[in-house]
Amino acid sequence: MMNAQDIGESLGDKGDDRTWTTVFVVICYVWMDITCNLTQVPVVLLIADLAGNRQVTAASIGQVWSIAGSFVVSGYIMFFGPAHQSIKPFMGMLMGIMFVTCMSVVWFVKEEQYIPTVKPDTKQQLKDAFSALWVGFKKLPKVLLIYCLIFLLLQYGYTAYNGAKGQFFGIRVKDGLAENADKCGKEGQPECTQRQKDYNDGVRLAGGVTDTVFNLFGVAYLAIMPFLVRKIGAKWVIVIACVPQALLIIMSFCKVIAIDMILVILTSISQQTIFALQLPMIVYQIGLAPDNDLGMYAGAFNSANCAGQFLNFALATQLVKTSMTFALPVLVGGILSAIALLVAIFFLKLDMKTM
């Protein structure tokens, strides 16, 4: 992916015709997303397997490690500027981190494979694997199905902002110009205009300082989340967590940088809650046993996450063409997050106060 442009140009891409570059970027991006999803589910299952009756605490700690990875990205952007201005070093850094972390798990984590008493038929296993997603959704208890819906709505809402945060701050808030902003000022290229500088500053603000504070706030919140679940229950923690993302409605109309930053940082509560409570909710409802199909339910929740992101990507390309440009996806994300809030208040029947 880091060399997609060079490969594309060697195959004949010129000017605005970037067919081959697009092909390689899309292939790499899709494969990267597949890799990410294949990694996430086993990781949360490993945590759940080792956590015993402290599922919320263990999930919070696991989520903190996830934030640690986000720190690397936001820190890079904060110190070195927008990633699109130095894409190869940025991608190289990501490759190095992925190698170290993945190999550490492969080398140090020792897992005893579950062997069923009766060996299942290979063909039946393949059939079950491909039908697991649908079966998982069908078998979800009502409480988990409602939580899955909340999860989907909140993920749409956050992805609506996160997928366009650079453009939102760079174009909508700072009135910058994205065209050639990744090339201007480099050797052989004209100097950046003020609007191009404003765009790059907006991208750096969104992905650097704001994301770093977002992550710091998330770590602080996760430290107290198990206590909150024990005191007021998971239902009301989820209800409260939906509120910050509903405030994206206000943010879509606001061009005051400080207010926008605060609203984005507060959405960390929504994201850390919805991810950290995912496995504890499943374990609370169905228990923790070798043959309870925990992975199938975790896969169903992961699919809800993907569905929320997919819906956003499908709609955002059309929404940004309106007069509100990159503010409209944020507005729609806020509205869907508000719907998630209402669903959590009126339909989520849950009395979980375990740590």
CB neighbours of residue 305 within 10 Å: 21
Establish if 340 belongs to a structural domain: yes
Task: Establish if 198 belongs to a structural domain.
Answer: yes
Count of structural domains, the chain? 1
- This prediction has a pTM of 0.82
The answer for residues whose C-beta is within 8 angstroms of residue 211's C-beta and 6 or more apart is 70, 73, 74, 77
| Domain-located, residue 117 | yes
Q: Which two tokens stand for residue 40?
A: 């996430």
Q: How far is CA 299 from CA 78, 115, 256, in A?
A: 34, 20, 40
Q: Is residue 354 part of a domain?
A: no
Task: Say what the pLDDT of residue 129 is.
Answer: 64
Q: Is 119 within the bounds of a domain?
A: yes
- Confirm whether 140 is domain-assigned: yes
Kindly report the CA angle at 37 between 32 and 39, in degrees rounded to 5?
95
- Predicted pLDDT of residue 75: 84
The answer to whether position 353 is within a domain reads no
CATH number at residue 327: 1.20.1250.20
Task: Flag whether 352 is in a domain.
Answer: no
Query: Could you state, in chain order, the average pLDDT of each consecutive group of 10 residues for the chain (355 residues)?
Result: 86 83 88 81 80 83 84 83 82 89 82 71 69 70 89 91 89 87 81 90 89 92 92 93 96 93 95 90 78 75 79 82 86 95 93 77
Domain limits for position 272? 4-347
Confidence at residue 290, expressed as pLDDT on a 0 to 100 scale: 64
Residue 16's identity, in one-letter code, is D
